[in-house]
C-alpha cells in the first residue's frame, strides 16, 4: 500500500485544440493539507475536476487509495471518498439547504425521503465542526460563507475522506476566510486529507503542509511549506520576473476624463452592491482597481459603460453626463471597453473575425454607406488589424469561435483600442490568455496611455495592477478602502486593503476574529 | 326573457360539473407538460403526444373490446412518441420547440394516415364497438337531488385525475426521484456533481410525460367522448402547457389554471344559446392566460429589481 | 461557402431519410412508393393545373416561412405567424370591402399596408412581453393564434358576414388577377417573391440585418457593442408580422376574393415547418417552402392515382422536420475528425473527447 491516498501520474487533458493539462502530477498524503497553486489557466482546477471525474482524462493514470481508476465519474469518485467544493457552488438556489445537502444520497423511508433522519445526520456534522447553517432556508437566501459551509457538509455527508476546495477564499470576506481555515484545520485533525487550490500565497503559506505548483498545464514541483517562501513560489508560478522595468511617466497626467460621483449600483449579490463610490481617471494615466472578485468591480464597470443601471449619483465622461445613457451614446461620447467576459460579451463567437472587428463602428463610414454594409472596406480594415495585432490565424473570415483564448482577446483589444477613444476601460484584459498574448495586450494598454488616453484597469492579478497602473484604487464590498500611487503599492498593503482591513496589520490574525 | 332568469340558467349547479368535465382533458395535458417542465424541458409536443394517445386508445379499445387495454396502449403510444422527442432533444441536441412542433405535426399526420389505412375512413371514427371508459355510479346518491346530478356518473378517469394530481404532487416534492428531477431542472451541474445521471433523469421525465400524455388522449377519446376525430385535441395540449406555465409546474396550481379554461369553455357553450357571440367567451381563457403570464412575469422582474437595489439595505 | 454546401448536403440526406421512411409506410399498406411519389410529382408539376396549384400553395408558404425565419434570426420562436395571417386577411378584407372611395391603385395599396400594419401590431404584443418581461413568446403566440382565429371568426359570422351559410365576408372590390386558371395561383406570387428577396437582402446585406443577426446569436454582445437588443428583437417581430399580414392579404385578394373563416389553417404552421427544416437559414427556406408546396399540391393527385392516402405527405414532412432538427448528420463527421486529431496529437488510444463538453469549456 502506497503512502498516498491520491496519485495522479502523467496527466494530459485536451479540450479539442486546447491543451488544458500537458503534464500533470499530483500526490496527496493522508491527513495533510496540500495546496495546488498557479496562475489563472495553469490547469489546477482542471486537474482536480479530472480527479473528481467531471471529465475523462486524455492520458495518464489516477490512483485512489492505491486503486487504479480506469473509469471515473463523480459518482465513482464520491464512492471512493472524494468530495469537491467547487469554485462556483453546486447548490440549487430554489431548493432548501437540507434538500441540497442530501441530493443524490437521500435517506428514504418507504417511498418518501426521510427528512428527519437527514436532519439528524447533518446536525451531527454541524455540532462536530461547529458550522452554523440554517437547514430550512432556501439557498438563494443564505450568504456566500454559509453556502460554502453547506458545500463542505455535503462532502462530509457523502463520506468524503479527501476534500478538494477550488479557490474557496476567492469569494470570502476575511472573517469568513478565518472561519473556513478553522474548519479546515479541524477536518485535518480528524484525519481528512485536503486539497486547497489557490493563487494567493499568504493563504497558502498559512494553511498548507505541502505545496505543488503548476504553470501552463505543467507540473513545476512540490515543496514542504517549511522549505519555501512566497518569493520562491512566485518564481515557480510565473517562471520569470515580469514587467518590473516598465517606465512610468506619471507627470503627463492631464485633465479628468472620467469622473464617478457617489454612484449607487444594484447587484444580485449583497457584497457586490456599490453604495456610494467616487473616483476619477485623468488623461494619460492608468488607474488600476484592485479587489477580490465579486466586490463590485464588474458592477462598477457595467455602470460606467451603460450596461447596468445607476440608482444614484452620476458618471461624467469627457465633461458630459453619461449617467444611465445607452451603451451606444456612451461609446460615442468617448469610451472603449474591453469586457471581462470575452466569450459572451466581448465577442460574437458565431460571427467572423472581421464582423467582430467592425461591430462597434459598423454604422459609420466607411464601413457602411447609406443602409448598406461596405464589405470591401471592412475587408481592408480587417486585413490591416489582423496584421497589426498579430491575430492568428490571419484569415479574418473565420468565426472567432475557432481562435485560441489569446487571439480571441486580441480581436477584442484590437477593436477597442484602435478607436483611440479618450477613455479605455479594461476589465481582466489578460484573464485566461497565454504569456505571449499577455505581453502584447499589456503593451497595447501602455501605448494607449502614452497616446493620451485615460485607462481604467480592473484585474484580479495584483502583479498586473502593480506593474501597469500609475494610481491604484482598492475596493472591498462595494466601497473604496484605499488609494495610492503605484510606487507605494506592494502585495502586502494592497492585500490588506482588499480584505477591507484598512487599519490592521496582521492579515492572518485578522481573519480569525469572528464578526458581529 | 328575463336577464336574471337567463343568468340563472347559465350559472347553475350543473355548471360545476360541466366545468370540471371540460377541464379534465386539459388537466391531464398540463400534468404531461409539468413532468418535463420540472426538468426544465418545455414540452411543446404535449398536443401531439395526446393526439397519438387518443387515436391509440380508440383503435385498441375497438379492436380488443377492452377500455383498459385501450388506455394502456394509449399510454404506451404516448411514451413511444415522447421517446422520439427525448432522443432528438437529449442525444441529438434538437431545439425542444422545433422538435416539439415536429412531433405535433407528425401526430396529426400519422393519426390521419392510420385512420384511413386501418378504419378506411377520414374525418372521424365512431363505432358502437368502441368500449368507453366506464362511469362510476353511486347508488346511494340517487335519492339526493343536488349531489346526484353533481357527483354521479363521472367517467372513471375524471375521478382518477384528482388522485393523479395528488400522486404527482407527492412524486415531485416528497420522493427521491422528484428531488433529483427538480435539481436537474434548476441546476444540472449541481445534480451532476452529486453523482446524478442528468440525462437519465431527463429521459425518465420525458418518458413519464409520454405516459401521462397518452392517458390524457385516452381520456379525451374514451372518457370525454367515445370517438376519434382528426386533430381532436384542438389546442388542449397547448392550453395545458399554458396552464402549467402559470401554475409553475406545480400540479395543484396547474390544475387550478386548467379549471379556468374549462369554466370559460362551459360558460361559452351556454352563452351561445342566448345569441351571445361565442367567440368572445371562447377566447377568454386564452386572453386570461396571456394576461396572467404577463402580470406574473412583470411582478417577478420588479421583485428582482428590488432585491438587487443598492438603495435598500437588507 | 463550404458551410452552405454542408448544410445543403445535410438537408438532402435528411430528405432522403424522410422519403425512405415514408416509402416504408407506403410499402406497409401494400402500395408502391415509386408509383406514389411519381404520381405526386406528376400531379404537382406535370400539368398546367398542377403547376398552378403548386404556385398557389407556394405563395403563402414562402411568406410565412420567411416571416418565421426573420423572427428566428433575431432569436424569437414566433409561432404566431398564423395569427398574423388571419388578422392581415381580415384587415385586407375590411379595407377591400369598405374603402371603395379610394381610387383602385390606392385601394390595393391600402389593403396591403393595412394588413401589414395590423399584423405587425399583433406581433408587437408577444415581442414586447418577451423583451421587457421575459414572457415566453412560444406560449403567448400559440395562445394568440387562437384569439386571432376567434376574432376573425366573430367578424365574418357577425358584423362582416355576407349572410351566407358558410361564415365569410362580402367580396372585396379589388382582387389580384389569377395567372393560371382554373387553379387559384395569382399574381400575388410575384409580390411575395419580391418581398422575400427584399427581406433576404436586408438581413444579409444591410447594417440593420447585421444587427438582427448579432442579436439573434448573442444579445449580451449586442448590448455591449451598442446595439439595443430589445429594440432589434421587437423590430424583427414587427417585420415578421408584416410578412404574415402580407400573406393574409394575398390570400384574401388573390385566392378567395373575400374573407373565408379559417382560410389560414396551417399556413403559419407549414411556413414554420419549412423554416425549421433549414434552421431558419433564409437562403434555403424558399426552396423548402417550394418543396412543401409541391408535396401539398401533388398529394391530392397521388391519392386519386394510387391508393395511397394523401396524409402520407404530411407524415413525410413531419418526419422530415423531426430528423432535420437533430444534429447528427453533421456531428458524425465532426466527431470522426476530432477523434482523428486526438489520435494524431496525443498519439494515444481511442478515448474520444466529448465534443459537447469541449464546447462548454471553451465558452467559459
For residue C112, the distance in angstroms to the closest alpha carbon of chain B comes to: 26
Across C275-309, b (16+ Cβ under 10 Å) vs e yields: bbbbbbbbebbbebbbbbbbbbbbbbbbbebbebb
pLDDT in tens, A341-354: 888 899 998 899 99
Does residue B189 belong to the interface with chain A, where contact is any CB pair within 8 Å? yes
What is the rounded CA–CA span in Å between residue B299 and residue C209? Answer: 33
Which of A238, A268, A289 marks a domain boundary? A238
Q: Which domain holds residue B284?
A: 3-308
**All chains having 3 or more CB pairs closer than 8 angstroms to chain C:** A, B
pLDDT value of residue C287 = 94
Q: Which of B291, B308, B270 is nearest to B17 (CA)?
A: B270
Residues A211 and A282 in one domain: no
Q: Which residue of B has its CA nearest to C275?
A: B98
Residues A377 and A435 in one domain: yes
Residues A264 and A222 in one domain: no
Q: B44, B106, B202, B303: best mutation site toward chain C, by most C Cβ within 10 Å? A: B106
**Cβ-based neighbours of C91, under 8 Å, separated by 6 or more:** C111, C114, C115, C117, C118, C119, C245, C248, C249
Out of A331, A368, A401, the one facing C207 most closely (by C-beta) is: A368
Cβ-Cβ pairs closer than 8 A, A with C, add up to 94
What is the rounded CA–CA span in Å between residue A76 and residue A53? Answer: 8
Does residue B179 belong to the interface with chain A, where contact is any CB pair within 8 Å? yes
Note whether residue A9 is domain-resident: yes
Which of A238, A269, A299 marks a domain boundary? A238
ipTM score of complex: 0.87
pLDDT band at A101 (very low <50, low <70, confident <90, very high): very high
Does residue A270 belong to the interface with chain B, where contact is any CB pair within 8 Å? yes
Q: C327 and B294: CB-CB below 8 Å?
A: no
Contact A475, A289 (CB under 8 A): yes
CA angle A272/A273/A274 to nearest 5° reads 110
Residues A355 and A497 in one domain: yes
pLDDT band at A509 (very low <50, low <70, confident <90, very high): very low
Does residue A401 belong to the interface with chain C, where contact is any CB pair within 8 Å? yes
**Cβ-based neighbours of A373, under 8 Å, separated by 6 or more:** A362, A367, C205, C206, C207, C210
Q: Which domains does chain C have, with CATH numbers?
A: 2-326 (1.10.3470), 336-364 (no CATH)
Q: B192, B276, B283: best mutation site toward chain C, by most C Cβ within 10 Å? A: B283
Contact B262, B20 (CB under 8 A): yes
Note whether residue B313 is domain-resident: no
pLDDT in tens, B280-293: 888 887 888 888 88
What is the rounded CA–CA span in Å between residue B39 and residue B198? Answer: 9
Q: C325 and B289: CB-CB below 8 Å?
A: no
Contact C141, C79 (CB under 8 A): yes
Q: How far is CA B162 from CA B74, B78, B242, in A?
A: 20, 21, 20
Q: B88 and C326: CB-CB below 8 Å?
A: yes
Higher pLDDT, C131 or A294: C131
CA angle B77/B82/B88 to nearest 5° reads 140
Taking the CB of residue A160, how many other CB atoms lie within 10 A of it?
23
pLDDT value of residue B272 = 77
Q: Which of C29, C26, C61, C30 is nearest to C40 (CA)?
A: C26
Does residue A100 belong to the interface with chain B, where contact is any CB pair within 8 Å? yes
Which CATH number is A231's domain given?
3.40.50.300
pLDDT exceeds 90 at position A477: no
Contacts 24+ apart (CB under 8 A), A266-270: A266/A299, A266/A308, A266/A309, A266/A311, A266/B305, A266/B308, A266/B309, A266/B310, A267/A296, A267/A299, A267/A478, A267/B308, A267/B310, A268/B304, A268/B307, A268/B308, A269/A144, A269/A294, A270/A143, A270/B314
Write out the three cell numbers for A146.
Answer: 454559509
Q: C218 and A15: CB-CB below 8 Å?
A: no
Does residue A92 belong to the interface with chain C, where contact is any CB pair within 8 Å? no
pLDDT value of residue A208 = 94
Higher pLDDT, A246 or A434: A434
Contact A118, A190 (CB under 8 A): no
What is the rounded CA–CA span in Å between residue A459 and residue C62? Answer: 52
Q: In this structure, what are the phi and psi dihedrals at residue A36, rounded to the nearest 5 degrees?
A: -115, 115
Which residues in A397-440 belong to E strands, given as ranges? 423-427
**All chains having 3 or more CB pairs closer than 8 angstroms to chain B:** A, C
Q: Which domain holds residue A341?
A: 252-504
Q: C228 and A347: CB-CB below 8 Å?
A: no
Provide mean pLDDT across the span A97-102. 94
> Which of A:457-486 have CB within 8 Å of B?
478
Secondary structure element (H or E) that encloses residue A24, with its range: strand A18-29
Which of A182, A208, A238 marks a domain boundary? A238
Q: A360 and C228: CB-CB below 8 Å?
A: no
Note whether residue A511 is domain-resident: no
Note whether residue B201 is domain-resident: yes
Number of domain units in chain B: 1
Residues A217 and A341 in one domain: no
Write out the three cell numbers for C79.
Answer: 409561432
pTM listed for this prediction: 0.85
For residue A438, the distance in angstroms to the closest alpha carbon of chain B comes to: 31
Write out the three cell numbers for C183.
Answer: 387553379
> Which residue numbers of C have CB closer than 8 Å to B's CBs?
25, 29, 77, 79, 129, 132-136, 138-140, 142-144, 146-147, 150-151, 153-154, 157-158, 269, 272-273, 276, 309, 311-315, 317-319, 321-322, 325-328, 331, 356
Q: A273 and B310: CB-CB below 8 Å?
A: yes
Which CATH number is B161's domain given?
1.10.3470
> What parts of chain B have a pLDDT lower than 50?
none
Out of B44, B117, B293, the one facing C29 most closely (by C-beta) is: B117
Does residue C224 belong to the interface with chain A, where contact is any CB pair within 8 Å? yes
**Residues of chain B contacting C147 with CB distance shorter than 8 Å:** 283, 286-287, 290
pLDDT value of residue A173 = 66
Out of A84, A102, A267, the one facing B308 most closely (by C-beta) is: A267
pLDDT in tens, A384-406: 999 999 888 888 998 988 887 78
Residues A34 and A153 in one domain: yes
Q: In this structure, what are the phi and psi dihedrals at residue A481, rounded to the nearest 5 degrees?
A: -105, -10
pLDDT value of residue B257 = 86
pLDDT exceeds 50 at position A98: yes
Contact A355, C210 (CB under 8 A): yes
Number of domain units in chain A: 2
Residue with cell 415514408: C22
First to last CA, chain C: 28
Does residue A342 belong to the interface with chain C, where contact is any CB pair within 8 Å? no
Residues A306 and A184 in one domain: no
pLDDT in tens, A264-273: 999 987 778 9
**Residues of chain C contacting B297 with CB distance shorter than 8 Å:** 129, 133-135
Cβ-Cβ pairs closer than 8 A, B with C, add up to 134
Residues A315 and A272 in one domain: yes
**Residues of chain A contacting B196 with CB distance shorter than 8 Å:** 75, 103-104
Residues A169 and A232 in one domain: yes
Q: Which of A247, A288, A310 is nearest to A457 (CA)?
A: A288
- Residue C338 backbone class (left: φ over 0; alpha: ψ -120 to 50; beta: rest): alpha
Taking the CB of residue C223, how many other CB atoms lie within 10 A of it?
22
Does residue B1 belong to the interface with chain A, where contact is any CB pair within 8 Å? no
Residues A61 and A156 in one domain: yes
Q: Which of C142, C133, C144 is nearest to C87 (CA)?
A: C144
pLDDT exceeds 60 at position A515: no
Q: B175 and A264: CB-CB below 8 Å?
A: no
**Residues of chain A contacting C364 with CB distance shorter than 8 Å:** 343
pLDDT exceeds 90 at position A3: no
> What parts of chain C have a pLDDT lower than 50?
1, 329-364
Q: A103, A141, A159, A299: best mutation site toward chain B, by most B Cβ within 10 Å? A: A103
pLDDT band at A239 (very low <50, low <70, confident <90, very high): low
Does residue A114 belong to the interface with chain B, where contact is any CB pair within 8 Å? no
Note whether residue A509 is domain-resident: no
Would you give the DSSP letter of residue C260?
A: B
Q: Which of B205, B232, B200 is nearest to B42 (CA)?
A: B205
**Residues of chain C contacting B92 with CB distance shorter than 8 Å:** 325-328, 331
**Residues of chain C contacting A339 with CB distance shorter than 8 Å:** 224
Residues A206 and A317 in one domain: no
Q: B183 and A312: CB-CB below 8 Å?
A: no
Contact C239, C199 (CB under 8 A): yes
Note whether residue A244 is domain-resident: no
Does residue A351 belong to the interface with chain C, where contact is any CB pair within 8 Å? yes
Residues A371 and A411 in one domain: yes
Note whether residue B314 is domain-resident: no
Which residues in chain B belong to E strands, given as ranges? 124-125, 135-136, 154-155, 228-229
Q: A343 and C213: CB-CB below 8 Å?
A: no
Amino acid at each position: 500500500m502506497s503512502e498516498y491516498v491520491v496519485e495522479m501520474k502523467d496527466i494530459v487533458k485536451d479540450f479539442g485544440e486546447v491543451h488544458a493539462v500537458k503534464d500533470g502530477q499530483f500526490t496527496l498524503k493522508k491527513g495533510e493539507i496540500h495546496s495546488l497553486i498557479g496562475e489563472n489557466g495553469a490547469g489546477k482546477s482542471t486537474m482536480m475536476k479530472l480527479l473528481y471525474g467531471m471529465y475523462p482524462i486524455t492520458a495518464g493514470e489516477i490512483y485512489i487509495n492505491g486503486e487504479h481508476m480506469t473509469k471515473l465519474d463523480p459518482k465513482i469518485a464520491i464512492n471512493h471518498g472524494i468530495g469537491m467544493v467547487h469554485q462556483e457552488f453546486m447548490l440549487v438556489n430554489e431548493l432548501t439547504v437540507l434538500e441540497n445537502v442530501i441530493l443524490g444520497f437521500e435517506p428514504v423511508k418507504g417511498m418518501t425521503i426521510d427528512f428527519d433522519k437527514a436532519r439528524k445526520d447533518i446536525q451531527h456534522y454541524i455540532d462536530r465542526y461547529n458550522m452554523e447553517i440554517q437547514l430550512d432556508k432556501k439557498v438563494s437566501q443564505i450568504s456566500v460563507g454559509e453556502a460554502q459551509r453547506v458545500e463542505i457538509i455535503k462532502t462530509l455527508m457523502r463520506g468524503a475522506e479527501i476534500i478538494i476546495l477550488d479557490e474557496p477564499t476567492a469569494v470570502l470576506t476575511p472573517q469568513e476566510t478565518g472561519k473556513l481555515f478553522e474548519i479546515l484545520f479541524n477536518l485535518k485533525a480528524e484525519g481528512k486529507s485536503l486539497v486547497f487550490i489557490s493563487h494567493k500565497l499568504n493563504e497558502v503559506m498559512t494553511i498548507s503542509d505541502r505545496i505543488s505548483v503548476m504553470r501552463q498545464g505543467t507540473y513545476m514541483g512540490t515543496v514542504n511549506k517549511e522549505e519555501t517562501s512566497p518569493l520562491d513560489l512566485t518564481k515557480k508560478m510565473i517562471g520569470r520576473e515580469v514587467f518590473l522595468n516598465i517606465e512610468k511617466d506619471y507627470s503627463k497626467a492631464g485633465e479628468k476624463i472620467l469622473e464617478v460621483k457617489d454612484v449607487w449600483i444594484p447587484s444580485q449579490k449583497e457584497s457586490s452592491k456599490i453604495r456610494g463610490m467616487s473616483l476619477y481617471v485623468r488623461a494619460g494615466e492608468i488607474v488600476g482597481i484592485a479587489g477580490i472578485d465579486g466586490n463590485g468591480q464588474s458592477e462598477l464597470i457595467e455602470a460606467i459603460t451603460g450596461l447596468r443601471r445607476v440608482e444614484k449619483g452620476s458618471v461624467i465622461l469627457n465633461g458630459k453626463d453619461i449617467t444611465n445613457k445607452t451603451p451606444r451614446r456612451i461609446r460615442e461620447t468617448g469610451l472603449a471597453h474591453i469586457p471581462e467576459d470575452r466569450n459572451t460579451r466581448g465577442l460574437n463567437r458565431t460571427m467572423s473575425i472581421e464582423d467582430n472587428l467592425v461591430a462597434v463602428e459598423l454604422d459609420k463610414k466607411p464601413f457602411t454607406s447609406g443602409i448598406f454594409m461596405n464589405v470591401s472596406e471592412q475587408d481592408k480594415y480587417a486585413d490591416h488589424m489582423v496584421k497589426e495585432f498579430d491575430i492568428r490565424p490571419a484569415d479574418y473570415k473565420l468565426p472567432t469561435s475557432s481562435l485560441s483564448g489569446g487571439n480571441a482577446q486580441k480581436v477584442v483589444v484590437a477593436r477597442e483600442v484602435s478607436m483611440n477613444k479618450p477613455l479605455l476601460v479594461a476589465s481582466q484584459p489578460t484573464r485566461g490568455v497565454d504569456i505571449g498574448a499577455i505581453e502584447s495586450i499589456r503593451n497595447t494598454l501602455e501605448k494607449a496611455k502614452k497616446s493620451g488616453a485615460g485607462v481604467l484597469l480592473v484585474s484580479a492579478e495584483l502583479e498586473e495592477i502593480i506593474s501597469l497602473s500609475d494610481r491604484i484604487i482598492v475596493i472591498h464590498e462595494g466601497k473604496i478602502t484605499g488609494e495610492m500611487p503605484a510606487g507605494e503599492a506592494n502585495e502586502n498593503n494592497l492585500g490588506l486593503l482588499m480584505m477591507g482591513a484598512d487599519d490592521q496589520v496582521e492579515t492572518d490574525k485578522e481573519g480569525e476574529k469572528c464578526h458581529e | 326573457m328575463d336577464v336574471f332568469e337567463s343568468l340563472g340558467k347559465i350559472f347553475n349547479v350543473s355548471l360545476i360539473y360541466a366545468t370540471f368535465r371540460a377541464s379534465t382533458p386539459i388537466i391531464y395535458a398540463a400534468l404531461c407538460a409539468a413532468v418535463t417542465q420540472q426538468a426544465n424541458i418545455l414540452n411543446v409536443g404535449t398536443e401531439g403526444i395526446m393526439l397519438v394517445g387518443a387515436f391509440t386508445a380508440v383503435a385498441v379499445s375497438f379492436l380488443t373490446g377492452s377500455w383498459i387495454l385501450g388506455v394502456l396502449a394509449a399510454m404506451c403510444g404516448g411514451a413511444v412518441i415522447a421517446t422520439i422527442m427525448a432522443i432528438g432533444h437529449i442525444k441529438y441536441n434538437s431545439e425542444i420547440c422545433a422538435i416539439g412542433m415536429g412531433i405535433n405535426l407528425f401526430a396529426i399526420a400519422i393519426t390521419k394516415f392510420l385512420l384511413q389505412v386501418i378504419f378506411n375512413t377520414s374525418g372521424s371514427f365512431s363505432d358502437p364497438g368502441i368500449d368507453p371508459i366506464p362511469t362510476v355510479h353511486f347508488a346511494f346518491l340517487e335519492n339526493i337531488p343536488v349531489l346526484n346530478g353533481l357527483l354521479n356518473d363521472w367517467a372513471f378517469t375524471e375521478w382518477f385525475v384528482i388522485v393523479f394530481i395528488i400522486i404527482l404532487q407527492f412524486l415531485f416534492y416528497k420522493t427521491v426521484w422528484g428531488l433529483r428531477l427538480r435539481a436537474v431542472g434548476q441546476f444540472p451541474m449541481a445534480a451532476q456533481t452529486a453523482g446524478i445521471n442528468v440525462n437519465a433523469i431527463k429521459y425518465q421525465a420525458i418518458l413519464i410525460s409520454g405516459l401521462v400524455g397518452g392517458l390524457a388522449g385516452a381520456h379525451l377519446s374514451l372518457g370525454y367522448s367515445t370517438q376519434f376525430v382528426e386533430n381532436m385535441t384542438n389546442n388542449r395540449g397547448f392550453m395545458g402547457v399554458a396552464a402549467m406555465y402559470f401554475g409553475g409546474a406545480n400540479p395543484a396550481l396547474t390544475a387550478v389554471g386548467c379549471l379556468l379554461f374549462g369554466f370559460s369553455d362551459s360558460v361559452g357553450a351556454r352563452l351561445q344559446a342566448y345569441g351571445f357571440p361565442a367567440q368572445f367567451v371562447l377566447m377568454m381563457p386564452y386572453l386570461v392566460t396571456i394576461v396572467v403570464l404577463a402580470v406574473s412575469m412583470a411582478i417577478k422582474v420588479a421583485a428582482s429589481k428590488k432585491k438587487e437595489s443598492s438603495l435598500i439595505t437588507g | 461557402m463550404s458551410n452552405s454546401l454542408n448544410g445543403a448536403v445535410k438537408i438532402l440526406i435528411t430528405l432522403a431519410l424522410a422519403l425512405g421512411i415514408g416509402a416504408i409506410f407506403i410499402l406497409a399498406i401494400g402500395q408502391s412508393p415509386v408509383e406514389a411519389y411519381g404520381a405526386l410529382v406528376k400531379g404537382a408539376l406535370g400539368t398546367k393545373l398542377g403547376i398552378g396549384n403548386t404556385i398557389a400553395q407556394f405563395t403563402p408558404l414562402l411568406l410565412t416561412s420567411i416571416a418565421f425565419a426573420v423572427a428566428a434570426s433575431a432569436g424569437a420562436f414566433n409561432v404566431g405567424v398564423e395569427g398574423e395571417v388571419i388578422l392581415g386577411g381580415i384587415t385586407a378584407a375590411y379595407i377591400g370591402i369598405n374603402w371603395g372611395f379610394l381610387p383602385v391603385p390606392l385601394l390595393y395599396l391600402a389593403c396591403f399596408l393595412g394588413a401589414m400594419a395590423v399584423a405587425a401590431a399583433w406581433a408587437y404584443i408577444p415581442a414586447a412581453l418577451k423583451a421587457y418581461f421575459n414572457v415566453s413568446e412560444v406560449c403567448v403566440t400559440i395562445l394568440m393564434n387562437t384569439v386571432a382565429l376567434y376574432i376573425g371568426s366573430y367578424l365574418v359570422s357577425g358584423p362582416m358576414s355576407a349572410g351566407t351559410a358558410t361564415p365569410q365576408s362580402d367580396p372585396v372590390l379589388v382582387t389580384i388577377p389569377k395567372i393560371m386558371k382554373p387553379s387559384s395561383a395569382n399574381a400575388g406570387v410575384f409580390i411575395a417573391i419580391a418581398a422575400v428577396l427584399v427581406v433576404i437582402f436586408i438581413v444579409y446585406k444591410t447594417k440593420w440585418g447585421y444587427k438582427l443577426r448579432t442579436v439573434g446569436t448573442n444579445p449580451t454582445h449586442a448590448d455591449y457593442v451598442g446595439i439595443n437588443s430589445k429594440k432589434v428583437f421587437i423590430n424583427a417581430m414587427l417585420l415578421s408580422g408584416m410578412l404574415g399580414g402580407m400573406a393574409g392579404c394575398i390570400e384574401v385578394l388573390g385566392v378567395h376574393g373575400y374573407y373565408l373563416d379559417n382560410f389560414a389553417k396551417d399556413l403559419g404552421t407549414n411556413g414554420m415547418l419549412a423554416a425549421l427544416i433549414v434552421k431558419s437559414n433564409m437562403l434555403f427556406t424558399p426552396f423548402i417552402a417550394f418543396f412543401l408546396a409541391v408535396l401539398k399540391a401533388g398529394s391530392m393527385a397521388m391519392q386519386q392515382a394510387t391508393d395511397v392516402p394523401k396524409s402520407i405527405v404530411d407524415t413525410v414532412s413531419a418526419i422530415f422536420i423531426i430528423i432535420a432538427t437533430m444534429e447528427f448528420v453533421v456531428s458524425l463527421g465532426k466527431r470522426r475528425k476530432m477523434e482523428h486529431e486526438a489520435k494524431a496529437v496525443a498519439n494515444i488510444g481511442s478515448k474520444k473527447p466529448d465534443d459537447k463538453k469541449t464546447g462548454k469549456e471553451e465558452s467559459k
